[in-house]
């Protein structure tokens, strides 16, 4: 195999995979958006579960949220984005400000995702082109749900830092079907003359 193709092949193999599911020919955009959401939901729920209760009050410096506050913020955000995409009034539960225990925050995050599940499940490509107000701007519903996915991953990045500081391996770094090391071709290891 030419040397240039190996890095490209390895990059392609490293891409995240989504569960094999028949692509909806009627709603391809909504289907792929839902898959992205399902991936972030799983990662965040595992992150919430992995951190021990005693570290839910941890924050690396005084100017940032605690681990628990980030989980609460993510729960609140599910209601914000998904109520906007479904043209419903945001329940505005203020989870970040009112919940502190791991059990309460994990439950609130699960409830927030259950609320969003209904919105992602019922969204169609046609409905996703309708505009709604998000932060004072007219935005297609598809974009609102995509922004939710991006927001989830943005804060997963925060959670990863907190977990690493506490010596916890984040969910996306756990070994799952990793590739075995490649045998080095002796011809590649010898200097060329």
Q: What is the pTM of this model?
A: 0.79
The pLDDT-based confidence of 176 (bands split at 50, 70, 90) is low
Average pLDDT, the chain: 86
**How confident is residue 14, by pLDDT bands cut at 50, 70 and 90?**
very low
pLDDT in tens, 32-65: 999 999 999 999 999 999 999 999 999 999 999 9
Question: Model confidence over 95-138: pLDDT tens digits?
Answer: 999 999 999 999 999 999 999 999 999 999 999 999 999 999 99
CA triplet 11, 13, 19: central angle to 5 degrees? 130
> Where along the chain do its domains lie?
40-171
Q: What's the pLDDT at 25?
A: 74
DSSP H helices in the chain:
5-14, 28-50, 67-85, 95-98, 102-122, 125-128, 141-165, 186-189
Residues 121/82, Cβ–Cβ less than 8 Å? no
At the topology level, CATH places domain 40-171 in 1.20.120
- Which residue, among 44, 43, 48, 30, has the nearest Cα to 146 in the 3D structure? 30
């Amino acid at each position: 195999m030419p040397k240039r193709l190996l890095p490209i092949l390895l990059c392609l193999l490293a891409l995240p995979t989504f569960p094999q599911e028949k692509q909806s020919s009627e709603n391809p955009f909504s289907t792929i958006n839902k898959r992205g959401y399902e991936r972030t939901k799983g990662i965040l729920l595992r992150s919430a579960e992995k951190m021990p209760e005693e570290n839910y009050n941890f924050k690396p410096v005084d100017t940032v949220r605690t681990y628990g506050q980030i989980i609460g913020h993510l729960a609140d955000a599910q209601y914000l984005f998904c109520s906007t995409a479904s043209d419903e009034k945001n329940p505005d539960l203020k989870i970040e400000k009112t919940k502190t225990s791991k059990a309460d925050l994990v439950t609130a995050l699960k409830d927030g995702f259950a609320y969003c599940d209904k919105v992602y499940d019922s969204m169609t490509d046609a409905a996703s082109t309708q505009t709604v107000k998000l932060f004072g701007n007219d935005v297609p519903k598809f974009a609102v749900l995509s922004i939710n996915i991006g927001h989830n991953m943005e804060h997963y990045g925060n959670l990863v830092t907190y977990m690493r500081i506490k010596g916890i391996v984040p969910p996306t770094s756990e070994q799952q079907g990793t590739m075995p090391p490649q045998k080095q071709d002796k011809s590649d290891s010898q200097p060329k003359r």
